[in-house]
Structure 1
Amino acid sequence: MTYRAGWIHYTNVAPILDSLTLPLGVTAITGVPTQMNAALLSGEVDIANISAVEFIRHADQLEALPDFSVAVLGPVYSVNLFHTAPLPELRRVALTAQSAMSVALLEVLLRERGLTPTLERAEGEAQTLLTQGYDGVLRIGDSALREWYGVVGPLTPETTMTSLPHAARGICVTDLAEEWFRLTGHPFVFAVWAYRRDNPPPPELVQAMREARREGIGYLADVAGRHAFKLGLPERVVQHYLWNFRYHLEAPDRLGLQEFADKAVPGHAPLRFGPRPGQMR
């Protein structure tokens, strides 16, 4: 029987997916986070790198690989709130429909600050939406990375990613992962590699993923160069972006994931993870 994977193939998972060779009996489709969340829950695919919040919301049905994540400690650069008013003065915020995870994170951060702006679904580039009556726009993924650089760049030989301003051209960019770190001191886990408990992935697929991850991290400059060309961004920007990620779901990441689960989905079922490499089920 064919085992079906659903990949959210943004640049941030390129070190895992670019060189992944699927073993015999495994097929894959790609889509944005909300599409792959729905595909896993409906049974259209058997495993997916889904939004962590969907894993939490459906913890009674799902299990996650124990050593795979898409997480950061500090800024992520591609989950951004673009805004023209200070955070306490926000009135209308446009939300993308592509990512339940980022919306849930924004809701937690606003609630922790005691802020209650109106949140509305609206798609489009941040600068366009900011001219249409919104004073805040949530953007995610590769487009958010490009738009962030479009606001705060360019990167010169004398500057670094961490020295670029948070505001320029009348627009402030708040990195939601950095805000989470300021709030909790923990990494933020954006995605896990989840599957339905009754249908774990074949060992050959998991091993192929581990080998692809090892190769991708080992040749990160090459991965960054390929994707910088596609994104129209400097290689330095994309390489810094990629080496910022934590792909192994280590103990600090699990602490951050658990804290987010408790804040975002009170009363959730216990989070479950498969056996670690070398362990028997």
Structure 2
Amino acid sequence: MTYRAGWIHYTNVAPILDTLVLPPGVTAITGVPTEMNAALLSGRVDIANISAVEFIRNADTLEALPDFSVAVLGPVYSVNLFHTRPLHQLRRIALTAQSAMSVALLEVLLRERGLSPVLERAEGDAGTLLGQGYDGVLRIGDSALREWYGVVGPLTARTTMTSLPNTGRGITVTDLACAWFDLTGHPFTFAVWAYRKDNPPPPELIQAMREARREGIGHLAAVARRHAPRLGLPERVIQHYLWNFRYHLEAPDRLGLHEFAAKAVPGHAELTFGPRPGPVAASRPYEQTR
């Protein structure tokens, strides 16, 4: 029987997916986060790197791989609120329909600050939507990364990659992952690799994913070189973006995930993570943590 994967292939998972070779009996489709969330929940795919909030909301039926994540400690650069007023003065915020995760995170951050602007679905780039009367626009993924650079760039030779600007052209960019860190001191886990509890992935697929991750993390400069032209961004910006990510769902990431679950989905079912499978063959031992 074919095992079906659903991949959200943004640049932030390129270190895992770019060189992934699917084993026999596994097929894959790609889509945006909300599409892959729906595909997994409806049974059209058997595993997907889905939004963490959908994993939390469906924790009664879903389980996550124990050592795969898309998480950051501090800024993420690709989940951004673009705004022309201070946060406490925002009245109308345009939300993308592509990501349930970013919307849920924004709602938590606003609620923690005691803010309640009107949230409306609207698609388009930040500049266009701000020009249409919204004073805040939520953008995600590769487009958000490009639009952040459009606001703050171009970076000069004197700009350090550890202290990047967040304002320009009359627009402020609030990085939601950084706002989460400021609030909690924890990493933020945007996505996990989840599957139905009654249909775990074959060990050969997990082995292939771990091998691809090891290859990608070990060659981030090459990954950045491949993706920079497509995004229209400098290679050093893409490489800095990628080395921020935490791909192993370690203890701090789980701590942040549990805290977000408590704030965003009170009363959720217990989050469960599958056992670490054994090796496929003695000659090809599994990667353990790094």
| Aligned: 1:180 with 2:180 | yes
Do the aligned partners of 1:153 and 1:164 also contact (CA within 8 Å) in 2?
Answer: no
Q: How do residues 124-143 of structure 1 correspond to structure 2 at under 5 angstroms?
A: 124-143=124-143
Judging changes above 3 Å, is the alpha-carbon distance between structure 1 residues 277 and 200 closer, same or farther for their aligned structure 2 residues?
closer
| Structure 2 match to 1:239 | 239
Structure 2: which 5+ runs fail to align? 280-290
| Structure 1 match to 2:255 | 255
The Cα shift of 1:25 comes to 0.1
CA RMSD of aligned residues (A): 0.9
SS of the residue corresponding to residue 41 of structure 2 reads helix
Q: Which residue identity lines up with residue 37 of structure 1 in the other structure?
A: N
Do the aligned partners of 1:155 and 1:161 also contact (CA within 8 Å) in 2?
Answer: no
Q: Distance in 2 between matches of 1:250 and 1:233?
A: 30
Do the aligned partners of 2:52 and 2:192 also contact (CA within 8 Å) in 1?
Answer: yes
The Cα shift of 1:107 comes to 0.1
SS of the residue corresponding to residue 162 of structure 1 reads coil
| Aligned: 1:229 with 2:229 | yes
TM-superposition CA deviations, 1:239-260 (whole Å, max 9, x none): 0000000000000000000000
| Structure 1 match to 2:17 | 17
| Structure 2 match to 1:65 | 65
Question: What count of residue pairs does the alignment treat as equivalent?
Answer: 279
Q: Distance in 1 between matches of 2:147 and 2:241?
A: 14
The Cα shift of 1:160 comes to 2.1
Q: Which residue identity lines up with residue 156 of structure 1 in the other structure?
A: T
The Cα shift of 1:277 comes to 4.5
Displaced runs of 4 or more, over 6 A: none
| Structure 2 match to 1:163 | 163
The Cα shift of 1:121 comes to 0.1
TM-superposition CA deviations, 1:75-112 (whole Å, max 9, x none): 00000000000000000000000000000000000000
The Cα shift of 1:162 comes to 3.2
Q: Which residue identity lines up with residue 227 of structure 1 in the other structure?
A: H
Q: Distance in 1 between matches of 2:35 and 2:162?
A: 33
TM-score by length of 1: 0.98
TM-superposition CA deviations, 1:128-180 (whole Å, max 9, x none): 10010100000000000000000011111111233332111100000000000
Do the aligned partners of 2:16 and 2:216 also contact (CA within 8 Å) in 1?
Answer: yes
| Structure 2 match to 1:27 | 27
| Structure 1 match to 2:42 | 42
Do the aligned partners of 2:203 and 2:278 also contact (CA within 8 Å) in 1?
Answer: no
Q: How do residues 57-96 of structure 1 correspond to structure 2 at under 5 angstroms?
A: 57-96=57-96
Q: Which residue identity lines up with residue 215 of structure 2 in the other structure?
A: E
| Structure 2 match to 1:147 | 147
